[in-house]
Amino acid sequence: MATDQKPTMKTLFTLPIAPSGSQPGGTLTCTTPFSPSSDSPVQSRIYILTLSSPPDNRLTPPLITALLRALDTLEFSPEYPPGVVITTSSLPKFFSNGLDLTHALSDPSFLPFSLYPLFRRYLTYPMPTIALLNGHAFAGGLMLAMHMDYRIMNPSRGFACVNELDFGVPLKPAMSAIFRSKCTPGVYRSLVLEAHRFGGGEAKEAGIVDATGGLQEVIQFVQEKKLTEKGKTGIYGLMKMEMYRETVEGYLTAEGHEREEERVRRIVEGEKERKEKGRSTREVKEGLSKL
């Protein structure tokens, strides 16, 4: 398929994204590049999942459910042969602005039984996956993209950023794990300890994304790497399970989450005790200096 002109797209299915809290909901649409002269609607074996949940594609439970349903449909429905799954957004400004923090912080089941299963599904999906970052990918939005195999980013609009530092919410172990796995230590530091905003070109130089461009560049990327062929043997997902086993088994399961939460709780308690002891010691010293 030529990439010097915008491809004709055929809609394969559409799923609703129900409202959630302050988020109004929207739709997830699966399309494929289509040649009218072909008898098959999926001859390209390129499946594009487009999120449209204004204003910024927050990762709410209904949006996560829609993504999981779409991934299941493409894997298990016989009319869709193995290919490549591209995830992107119809919203010009945002790929995803991350979590709905109000919900995420108030629902203890959200991380282990909603968000992490989505991360795990993408990280071990039995076909190549690509995040097309058309706009901002902040916090959880960038984390979602990092669990895909490849990332291609708009060169002129949007930033990739982990900005939890700015609003005082520590990264959970599973969230840090994917950056440790896929980023160099220096880039990891810039993302997490500086909340640095990477534009498309800088993100490519840092290795956060694999290329810059839009849909045409993604299709060319797929063709150059022959990615539609990679899932045919049936072991692509198994290869990724082994490749990322520390993250998959250690963090993205309910058991791993519970274990890590307990570890973090002990760290937080120890830090609280250390600070209280430090303040107490200082008060004693100040009191003695006045004698």
Residue-range definition of the domain harbouring residue 75: 9-252
CB neighbours (10 Å) of residue 29? Answer: 18
Give the per-residue pLDDT at 167: 86
Higher-pLDDT residue of 5 and 27 is: 27
Kindly state whether residue 93 falls inside one of the protein's structural domains: yes
Kindly state whether residue 275 falls inside one of the protein's structural domains: no
Higher-pLDDT residue of 21 and 85 is: 85
Q: Using the predicted structure, report yes or no on whether residue 37 has a pLDDT greater than 80.
A: no
Kindly state whether residue 64 falls inside one of the protein's structural domains: yes
- State pLDDT tens for residues 241-251: 999 999 999 99
Kindly state whether residue 291 falls inside one of the protein's structural domains: no
- C-alpha closest to that of 145 among 45, 257, 67, 47: 67
Q: Using the predicted structure, report yes or no on whether residue 1 has a pLDDT greater than 50.
A: no
Q: Using the predicted structure, report yes or no on whether residue 2 has a pLDDT greater than 50.
A: no
Give the per-residue pLDDT at 244: 97
Q: What is the CATH number of the domain that holds 137?
A: 3.90.226.10
Q: Coil, strand or helix: which one is 157?
A: coil
Alpha carbon distance 81, 46 (integer Å): 10
The confidence band for 76, taking pLDDT boundaries of 50, 70 and 90, is very high
The confidence band for 285, taking pLDDT boundaries of 50, 70 and 90, is low
- Strands 160-161, 84-89: parallel, antiparallel or unpaired by DSSP? unpaired
| The amino acid at 165 | L
| Mean pLDDT within 98-115 | 93
At 213, list the tokens. Answer: 């461009």
pTM exceeding 0.85: yes
Q: Where are the alpha helices (DSSP H) in the chain?
A: 61-76, 101-106, 110, 116-123, 140-146, 164-167, 173-182, 185-193, 200-206, 215-225, 236-243, 245-250, 254-289
Kindly state whether residue 82 falls inside one of the protein's structural domains: yes
Kindly state whether residue 220 falls inside one of the protein's structural domains: yes
Give the per-residue pLDDT at 154: 98
244 neighbors 124 (Cβ within 8 angstroms):
yes
Kindly state whether residue 265 falls inside one of the protein's structural domains: no
The count of C-alpha atoms lying within 13 angstroms of the C-alpha of 27, restricted to the half-sphere facing its C-beta, is: 8
- State pLDDT tens for residues 122-142: 999 999 999 999 999 999 999
> At CB < 8 A and 24+ separation, what contacts does 7-12 make?
7/33, 7/34, 7/215, 7/216, 7/219, 8/33, 8/34, 8/35, 8/36, 9/33, 9/34, 9/48, 10/34, 10/41, 12/41, 12/42, 12/47, 12/80
Give the per-residue pLDDT at 88: 98
Q: Using the predicted structure, report yes or no on whether residue 44 has a pLDDT greater than 80.
A: yes
Alpha carbon distance 25, 27 (integer Å): 7
Count of domains observed in the chain = 1
| Mean pLDDT within 220-240 | 97
The confidence band for 105, taking pLDDT boundaries of 50, 70 and 90, is confident
Kindly state whether residue 209 falls inside one of the protein's structural domains: yes
Rounded to the nearest integer, the mean pLDDT of the chain is 93
Lowest mean pLDDT among 68-82, 88-102, 269-283: 269-283
Alpha carbon distance 226, 249 (integer Å): 29
Give the per-residue pLDDT at 280: 81
Q: Using the predicted structure, report yes or no on whether residue 3 has a pLDDT greater than 50.
A: no
Give the per-residue pLDDT at 61: 97
